[in-house]
Structure 1
Amino acid sequence: MSNSKYKCFDLNVVENIANLVFSRPDELNTMSRDFWVELGEVLEEINRNSDIRVVVMSSTGKHFCAGMDLSAFSNGVDNIPDDKKPDSARIGEAVYRVAKELQGYISDLEKIRVPVIVAIHGGCIGGAVDLVTACDIRVASKGAFFCIQEINIGMAADVGTLQRLPKIIPDSKMREMAYTGRRMYAEEAKETGLISEMYESQKEMLEGANKLAKEIASKSPVAIYGLKAVMNYSRDHSVTDGLEYNALWSGAMLSQKDMTEAITANVEKRDASFSDLVGVKKFNESDS
């Protein structure tokens, strides 16, 4: 299934793997206003499709993503005449709502039911770092680099990097990057744990990412969803709270059917076959 209804993304689903590709190479795949809104829309589409068991996110052109499109920066009142503009408190409230909206689109990567593998080439800059830190697995090609660009334009990153990156790489290294805006290249990213694998070329990287996706897609989808939910919850809570959540999840959604199939397939030396998750529908949508 191929989907080109988006301006900023191409979505292609084959054999339970969704390849989500940034499709504006001439604009360095900057995060325009359309990019942000479409990110939320395409992730909702992915989450609703029970045929999808894993996502491979990649890009086109010179850079993975050059970060926020500067023309998208706004306090929400730019077009209001000066004599009618609200006071600073109301402007601040509008800016707060915009930040929360963008944070929500990034957080959707963690909320969807399937893992997201992101394959990075070229520059991963500014808001793109916020985005990749919300993905489950990061791989990169040699020559790729990461840059917390916001400090270089006089602001602090505000849609996820400062919250997620310290839980991926050492805090001191993250602070160095945030304070200086320097580039971290793939070799260093591999050493610090920001990426799990580095490939010689973009072609090899995409092949490797899809090979990994195929392996993940072969597992029980309800168990994979459980792993993602429990690992994300445990990352943000105490060990005690994480164990409690883990026990509750197992009590509610441990599939004896899938366990039996996995064990039987292993004994019979064949590939296991698992049913899809139930498709996500809005409350007023028909089950037919």
Structure 2
Amino acid sequence: MSDTPFHVTVADGLALVTIVGSGKGNALGGSFWDELRDFMEQAHHRDHIRAIALTGEGRTFSVGMDLRWYVVRLRRAQRARDRSFMDADVRLLQQAVTAVADCPKPVVALIDGECTGAALELVSACDIRYATRQARFALPEAELGVVADLGGLQRLPLLVNQGHLRELAFTGRTIDAERANRIGLVNDVFADPAALHHAARQLTDDLRRHPAHVMEGIKRTLDTVHQDGVRQGLDHSARWNSTHTGPDGLGQAMSARLRSPAVPADSGRPAPEGARAMSPQG
């Protein structure tokens, strides 16, 4: 487990946030959520930052929620017989993703390799998504018996049509970068990480030609139309999982997933299978 959930470097107006997370595959747990929220809120007041890019360390964006970390939290809630824990905890995680969406600076996700579950919900809160040809996307929360509740079901409909989103959410299937591009999940696909980062720098150069308050005004204006619906959806998903699954059910499902040798310990994603993985034509 890393002591630092992400690293930040700033050059020529671009703040590059490289996710390390709390476990293998840049799994999202530990202090990641609080520190991401704090960074996004602080970035508002840093005039030298004109854009923010989120990426993952190595050849993976993120395998999603760190199940080992979250199971420990659930077990504590079970011992304390705290039935409100799941609802309250999910809302704290939601705040971190919402801080990405609410940041007045343009935020771009640079996605290489796996982007699963909570990680896909995180990039759905970004303004722009660039991917390499090796990128893979999945929303497998149904495999754990829960509804995706960090904002993916509220923000992804602004990117892809309902049919594509429902297929992703209902089945948990993995799609490749080509299909993600075709359905509008990502803005563009690049050959490799070097090209991905070059595109982010070019984007920042374009943004720097315009006043920062204009960029903020565009973002606020675009977001205002959808904010009430997103907030209502986040509240509904948090209450639904707390009521219908609860800490006991989710803890059992996560523990079973961690015991499965076919699934990475830090990921909620089912292992790729020929019958489950979606072909480029899927």
- Does TM, scored on the shorter chain, surpass 0.5? yes
Query: Equivalents in 2 of 1:48, 1:190: separation in Å?
Result: 33
Instruction: Report the CA distance between 1:26 and its aligned residue.
Output: 7.0
Instruction: Report the CA distance between 1:142 and its aligned residue.
Output: 0.3
Structure 1 SS opposite 2:4: coil
**Does 2:217 align with 1:226?**
yes
Off by >4 Å, runs of 4+ in structure 1: 74-77
Query: Equivalents in 2 of 1:179, 1:81: separation in Å?
Result: 28
User: Following superposition of structure 1 onto structure 2, how do residues 160-199 of structure 1 map, counting pairs within 5 Å?
Assistant: 160-199=151-190
Q: Aligned residue for 1:61?
A: 58
Task: Describe the shift of the 1:229–1:6 C-alpha distance in structure 2 as closer, same or farther (beyond 3 A).
Answer: farther
Measured against aligned partners, the alpha-carbon deviations of 1:239-269 in whole angstroms (never above 9, x if no partner) come to xxxxxxxxxxxxxxxxxxxxxxxxxxxxxxx
Query: Equivalents in 2 of 1:6, 1:20: separation in Å?
Result: 15
Q: Aligned residue for 1:27?
A: 24
Alignment root-mean-square deviation, CA: 2.3
Measured against aligned partners, the alpha-carbon deviations of 1:52-95 in whole angstroms (never above 9, x if no partner) come to 1111111222310000000222595633785xx43xxxx33221
Query: Equivalents in 2 of 1:159, 1:197: separation in Å?
Result: 24
Percent identity between the two aligned chains:
27
Unmatched segments (≥5 aa) in structure 2: 230-282
Instruction: Tell me if the contact between 1:75 and 1:95 (Cα under 8 Å) persists in the aligned partners.
Output: no
Instruction: Name the larger-Rg structure.
Output: 1
Query: Equivalents in 2 of 1:197, 1:137: separation in Å?
Result: 9
Q: Aligned residue for 2:257?
A: none
Instruction: Tell me if the contact between 1:106 and 1:134 (Cα under 8 Å) persists in the aligned partners.
Output: yes
Query: Equivalents in 1 of 2:224, 2:49: separation in Å?
Result: 22
Amino acid at match of 1:182: R
Instruction: Tell me if the contact between 1:25 and 1:62 (Cα under 8 Å) persists in the aligned partners.
Output: no
Task: Describe the shift of the 1:189–1:80 C-alpha distance in structure 2 as closer, same or farther (beyond 3 A).
Answer: closer
Structure 2 SS opposite 1:52: coil
Query: Equivalents in 2 of 1:65, 1:182: separation in Å?
Result: 16
Instruction: Report the CA distance between 1:103 and its aligned residue.
Output: 0.5
Instruction: Tell me if the contact between 2:23 and 2:66 (Cα under 8 Å) persists in the aligned partners.
Output: no
Query: Equivalents in 2 of 1:184, 1:42: separation in Å?
Result: 30
Instruction: Tell me if the contact between 1:146 and 1:184 (Cα under 8 Å) persists in the aligned partners.
Output: yes
**Does 2:130 align with 1:139?**
yes
Amino acid at match of 1:235: H
Query: Equivalents in 2 of 1:35, 1:26: separation in Å?
Result: 11
Query: Equivalents in 1 of 2:188, 2:78: separation in Å?
Result: 52
Instruction: Report the CA distance between 1:164 and its aligned residue.
Output: 0.8
Unmatched segments (≥5 aa) in structure 1: 239-288
Instruction: Tell me if the contact between 1:117 and 1:213 (Cα under 8 Å) persists in the aligned partners.
Output: no
Q: Aligned residue for 1:50?
A: 47
**Does 2:208 align with 1:211?**
no
**Does 2:102 align with 1:93?**
no
Task: Describe the shift of the 1:69–1:24 C-alpha distance in structure 2 as closer, same or farther (beyond 3 A).
Answer: closer
